[in-house]
Chains A and B, each alone.
Chain A
Amino acid sequence: KQEVTQIPAALSVPEGENLVLNCSFTDSAIYNLQWFRQDPGKGLTSLLLIQSSQREQTSGRLNASLDKSSGRSTLYIAASQPGDSATYLCAVSLSNTGKLIFGQGTTLQVKP
């Protein structure tokens, strides 16, 4: 059974700091991995999608890496801003049906 774990559960950093969020999964036979952002009371916003054949994806200040063999992914946020404060969720898909298995999320607070 695939399990997805995110550490830490919560993180507080000063503005401008570079930070890394971690995601681990137990079954390396994934189809892809997706990072989402969730603001309070809102739905999920897709940030980055990494296919199983890829090692990393970048979008602006965000960089996500994938190491299937070790069952790990990281989301790197450069020069953090207060507007980055949110819960970040990673999810893996085990097949091309699209079913996602989510971690429990990391709640990030960036202090001005």
Chain B
Amino acid sequence: EAGVAQSPRYKIIEKRQSVAFWCNPISGHATLYWYQQILGQGPKLLIQFQNNGVVDDSQLPKDRFSAERLKGVDSTLKIQPAKLEDSAVYLCASSLLSGYNEQFFGPGTRLTVL
């Protein structure tokens, strides 16, 4: 079974630039999550989708971050404009159903903002 795919794996940008990350969840998984992991900390949920609807985006900085999940499959997370404090690993995860909560994580995208 293929795992969660993410791209790119690494990205370096300058502050005020924009960046986008892509995630392809495990086939058939209805729920998709985006987490931000700052160095030395545990991941923090940014946004959760159930199919193509948003379940929780309470910790998403909506003035600069946006995310979408078209057709309930792939998802993109965008930052515009980026700040230095956005440097982190962005992890995508998926689960079959939100009620059965085992989440499967992708390898992450490491973002460095200079």
Contact = CB atoms under 8 A, between A and B. Distances in A.
Contacts of A98: 31, 33, 48, 95, 98-99, 101, 103
Interface string A23-42: 00000000110101000011
A78 interface: no
Contact of B101 (A49, A89, A104): A49
Interface of B: 4, 31, 33, 40-45, 48, 55-56, 91, 93, 95, 98-99, 101-108, 110
Interface of A: 4, 31-32, 34, 36, 41-46, 49, 89, 91, 93, 96-100, 102-105
19 contacts: A34-B103, A41-B107, A41-B110, A43-B108, A44-B93, A46-B103, A49-B102, A89-B42, A89-B43, A93-B101, A97-B48, A97-B98, A98-B98, A99-B33, A99-B56, A100-B33, A100-B103, A102-B43, A103-B42
